[in-house]
Amino acid sequence: MSMSSRVKHRCAGSIPNLWHSSTATTRSGFLPERIVHLHPTRLCNLSCLHCYSESDPSHKEALDPDVLGAALGLLRAEGYVLLSLSGGEPLLYPPLRAVVEQSRELGFRVTMISNGLLATKRMDSVLSLLDGVAISFDGLAATHNAMRRRSDAFERACAAVQRIAATGRPVAAAISLTREAIPELPDLADHLVSLGVRALQVRPVARAGRARSLADCSFHSSSDYARLYLVVLALQKELSPEVQVHCDLAPAKGLWQQRDAYSGLLGSCETVPLEDRPLADLVNPLVVIDTGLLKPIAYDFDGRFDVASIDGLSSDYLRCYKRQRLPALQKLIGGALASMQARQGLVDWFDHCARLSEDCFRTSAPIGSAEL
């Protein structure tokens, strides 16, 4: 596969980072910025086989924009700077434009992940307000359409990428792959780059939500992780720096070596009590789901680790959370990091922590802690 000439033709010049500010100087967890993942609704025009939130056309409930706006103001004051919209399909959330406008007024940068079917010219008034848009893909046409259970899903998603790119706005592809779809990644990347994507975010399908009903052969073994990781490394070498390519997999020992990234959550802060520290230094990313609950790290993180609800959210409540309930998350993440020291192979870190959040209540074994 050779993409170099095509990439340079379509993406000449300086390519902006779609998700992260160049001014970010400190990390909170394994992310360069402090992020709120917002899922304002589970209403979706698709019912994908691998959907971690089990979204579909039957879910009509959505977050109240006034309650949400008040909570976002507080979360901005707690140090979060990037708001990433997902769903469900965020373009089906009626107050979307108002929420985006208010978030930008609060100082958030705002991005969105969409299935692309509704990212048409009619939605340009909203799309033009965003700092970046990612369209989701699951493989080449046959694989993507089967996973989305719609025969024109791939064609329309590609059309959305091409149209957004033609306007000069940054567009990325969020790619989730079953093990069977790994061989499709090079050709998929080639096609998407030809349409104008400036970034590729690649991750293995997680055993969460509706994906739990997929056949076992859809999920990745350790050798499948290695195959996917090597394909991404090859794409990075081929496409960088014109197109950014990122994989959610990371070497376990590399995570251990970067454990200082969690110093805000796990380190000793004797001069500043936890309750006086910004929540964004301690919990990152923070996920707001369609019921209004605030969850650490992942949409399906076990409910016993929930931070709060946006309904009636206050600084006093968050101070109480940091003092009384945050230690459980500290213990979980500390143990997860400690286990990386002797672990071999690759890890999908955020999914790994989500699965641990479920497992730690099923066993009496200690979770452990990390020494930073």
Mean pLDDT of the 340-344 span:
96
Q: How far apart are CA 170 and CA 175, in angstroms?
A: 16
Mean pLDDT of the 352-356 span:
96
Q: At a CB cut-off of 8 Å and minimum separation 6, what does 49 contact?
A: 146, 147, 148, 149, 210, 211, 213, 214
Q: How far apart are CA 33 and CA 357, in angstroms?
A: 23
Element (H, E) at 317: helix 315-324
Q: At a CB cut-off of 8 Å and minimum separation 6, what does 144 contact?
A: 137, 138, 153, 154, 157
Question: Helix/strand/coil (H, E, C) string of 154-197?
Answer: HHHHHHHHHHHHHCCCCEEEEEEECHHHHHHHHHHHHHHHHHCC
Specify which residues 132 forms β-bridges with.
111
Q: Residue with structure tokens 């680790």?
A: 305
For residue 361, name the pLDDT band (cuts at 50, 70, 90). low
For residue 146, name the pLDDT band (cuts at 50, 70, 90). very high
> What pLDDT, on a 0 to 100 scale, did the predictor assign at position 136?
98
Cβ–Cβ < 8 Å for 334, 356:
no
Q: How far apart are CA 3 and CA 238, in angstroms?
A: 7
Nearest to 87 by CA among 127, 47, 124: 47
* Angle made by CA atoms 286, 35, 37, in degrees to the nearest 5: 60
State how far the alpha carbon of 106 is from the alpha carbons of 20, 42, 49, 63, 169, in Å: 17, 25, 36, 18, 22
> What pLDDT, on a 0 to 100 scale, did the predictor assign at position 22?
44
Q: How far apart are CA 90 and CA 99, in angstroms?
A: 11
pTM across the whole model: 0.90
Cβ–Cβ < 8 Å for 173, 135:
yes
CATH of domain 4-12+30-250: 3.20.20.70
Token representation of residue 313: 């959210």
Q: Is the pLDDT of residue 271 over 60?
A: yes
Token representation of residue 69: 């706006």
| Radius of gyration of the chain from its Cα atoms, rounded to whole angstroms | 20
How many helices, marked H, and strands, marked E, lie in the chain?
A: 14, 12
Domain edges within the chain: 4-12+30-250
pLDDT in tens, 7-59: 333 332 222 344 455 444 577 999 989 999 999 999 999 999 999 999 999 99
> What pLDDT, on a 0 to 100 scale, did the predictor assign at position 11?
33
Q: Is the pLDDT of residue 353 over 70?
A: yes
pLDDT in tens, 88-113: 999 999 999 999 999 999 999 999 99
Q: How far apart are CA 347 and CA 250, in angstroms?
A: 5
pLDDT in tens, 286-330: 999 999 999 999 999 999 999 999 999 999 999 999 999 999 999
Q: How far apart are CA 182 and CA 229, in angstroms?
A: 10
> What pLDDT, on a 0 to 100 scale, did the predictor assign at position 365?
43
> What pLDDT, on a 0 to 100 scale, did the predictor assign at position 371?
34
